[in-house]
Amino acid sequence: MPQTKFILQENDIPTHWYNIVADMPNPPAPVLGPDGKPIGPEALAPIFPMSLIMQEVSGERWIPIPEPVREAYRLYRPSPLFRAHRLEAALGTPAKIYYKYEGISPAGSHKVNTSIPQAYYNKEAGIKRIATETGAGQWGSSMALAGHMFGLEVRVYMVKVSYEQKPFRRSMMHTWGAEVFASPSMETQSGRAALAADPNNPGSLGLAISEAVEDAAHRADTNYALGSVLNHVLLHQTVIGLEAKKQFELAGDYPDMIFAPCGGGSNFGGAAFPFFADKACGRDVRLVAVEPSSCPTLTRGKYAYDFGDTAKLTPMLKMFTLGHDFMPPGIHAGGLRYHGASALVSQLYHEKLIEAVAVPQIATFQAGVTFARAEGIIPAPESNHAIAACIDEALRCKASGEPKTLFFNLSGHGHFDMAAYDKYFSGQLEDFAYPEDALQESLANLPKVEA
Ligand SMILES: *Cc1c(COP(=O)(O)O)cnc(C)c1O
């Protein structure tokens, strides 16, 4: 019988995270403050613990995972690597397809891989409370769970439209003991100002970030936590790729191409970066970030300094960006609607060391349904992007007869997104390619900095 699941034991959970900075040909571009000058670690100290700030700027290849974090990872890690025999048969491809399934975490996505260490380091630093934001709710629920594990209070500012439309993710956060406010809220100055201007403001991720950062900056017992984009978040996510490398050894195989959905870049970095270590030593492996055509940060954005949020409260990062006032359309992959991309992913893409493709929404659901019917698991709409790009490659292999080994990261399950699947089945989904003039308009508002 050909093997379907490649399973590791709990003592195979990595002991160190992999820091790609050690293998990048050029050092990361500096982070800039409001005056356009590089900032030092102390500038971030009001909202992050020093341990995470040091990870943010570290050049060490291996960073030890604290034992209490590995212990918490044991609740759901190692995650399985599957060989998609049934999908291969359904496609009639000679390609071998593998996927790593991160939907086995209690919150249903890879985000718990970083919420756990973030909660741990904040607790160690004497912090009592975390303020954070969430869009569709995947990050908020992951932070709620991890906060409770380490005895931290968690306050989540949830974008108001999602708060109203996705009540079950809110219920998950409550179950794990977090406080959840619809953003804009009356709890912060930014929220009150937004409500004074428009009592019906539906909220946005940018505004929710402003509320959470303001909350954290104003209370000594409170820090802020971010679920993607930052270097330390991608670092924590490398448990995915490190486990996958061991699992490929068990399978006696190695990927030619790796695909992952890319919003802020954390699950892509997590799955792909550990393989970059081999690429840096001359091994031939292609790393492909897959994004929505409606929020095409890498494929149509500009590589420039920009703010992380709409209100310009964050430092400036050099990244591919669509502009901090870019308004992504209401597509169903909520986790992929961010205007920027991780600085590390951006720099690697700029230096042509990784690749990116954009996929339209309807094609991603087609791919997700093909996958679900073959393999059983119903993927998150975000994950469907990687599946679509992987299936496209598998079909190219079918045409050419090439038996490539393909690997994608199944970043989460879609159990809270069935309304989006219903829309797909009833023909109500639309493809939306962002108009060039609207894009140019938001890019015109990029901050003017030299570099
Ligand atoms: C948040 C999320 C993403 C996108 O975020 P990244 O930081 O780019 O990984 C992808 N898939 C799932 C399931 C998510 O919850």
**pLDDT tens-digit readout, 313-327:** 889 999 999 998 887
Picking from 259, 258, 265, 340, the residue whose alpha carbon sits closest to that of residue 295 is 340
386, part of any domain: yes
Average pLDDT of every residue of the chain: 95
Q: Is the pLDDT score of 354 beyond 90?
A: yes
Ligand 1 atom with the smallest distance to the CA of 268 is: 9
User: What pLDDT score does 55 carry?
Assistant: 98
- Over range 26-41, report the average pLDDT: 95
- Give the residue-averaged pLDDT of 205-219: 91
- Read off φ and ψ for residue 93, nearest 5 degrees: -100, 145
Instruction: Domain of residue 372: give its range.
Output: 5-10+66-108+233-443
Query: What average pLDDT does this structure show over 160-186?
Result: 94
For residue 199, being part of any structural domain is answered with no
Which residues contact residue 288 at a Cβ distance below 8 angstroms, ignoring those fewer than 6 apart?
257, 258, 259, 260, 354, 355, 356, 357, 389
In a domain, 148, yes or no: no
Q: How many CB atoms lie within 10 A of CB 5?
A: 11
Q: Is the pLDDT of residue 328 over 80?
A: no
Is 246 within the bounds of a domain?
yes
Q: What is the pLDDT of residues 108-119, one digit of tens each?
A: 999 999 999 999
Confidence (pLDDT) at 1: 75
Q: What angle do CA 106, 109, 110 make, to 5 degrees?
A: 110
Answer with the residue of higher pLDDT: 434 or 129. Answer: 129
Query: What was the pLDDT predicted at 325?
Result: 81
pLDDT (mean) for 391-409: 98
pLDDT digits (tens, 9 = 90+) for 52-90: 999 999 999 999 999 999 999 999 999 999 999 999 999
Q: Chain centroid to CA 210: how far?
A: 19
Residue identifier of the C-alpha nearest atom 1 of ligand 1: 335
272 within domain boundaries: yes
Which CATH number is 340's domain given?
A: 3.40.50.1100
Q: How far is the CA of 193 from the centre of ligand 1 (A)?
A: 30
pLDDT the model gives residue 51: 98
Atom of ligand 1 nearest to the CA of 336: 4
Q: Count up the domains in the chain and report the number.
A: 1
Could you tell me which of 142, 166, 84, 114 has the C-alpha nearest to residue 379?
A: 84
Confidence of residue 450 (pLDDT cuts 50, 70, 90): low
> Residue 227: pLDDT above 70?
yes
Q: Is residue 249 part of a domain?
A: yes
Q: How much is the average pLDDT of 287-300?
A: 96
Within a domain: 425: yes
**Ligand 1, atom 3, residue with closest C-alpha:** 335
Res 451 pLDDT > 70: no
What per-residue confidence (pLDDT) applies to 449?
Answer: 85
Report whether 88 contacts 95 (CB < 8 A). Answer: yes
Single out the residue of 119, 111, 173 nearest to residue 151, CA to CA.
119
**0.95 surpassed by pTM:** yes
Tens digit of each residue's pLDDT (9 = 90 or more) over 332-344: 777 788 889 999 9
- Asked if residue 51 is part of any domain, the answer here is no
Pocket of ligand 1 (CB under 6 A): 109, 111, 138, 228, 261-268, 335-336, 380, 382-383, 411-412
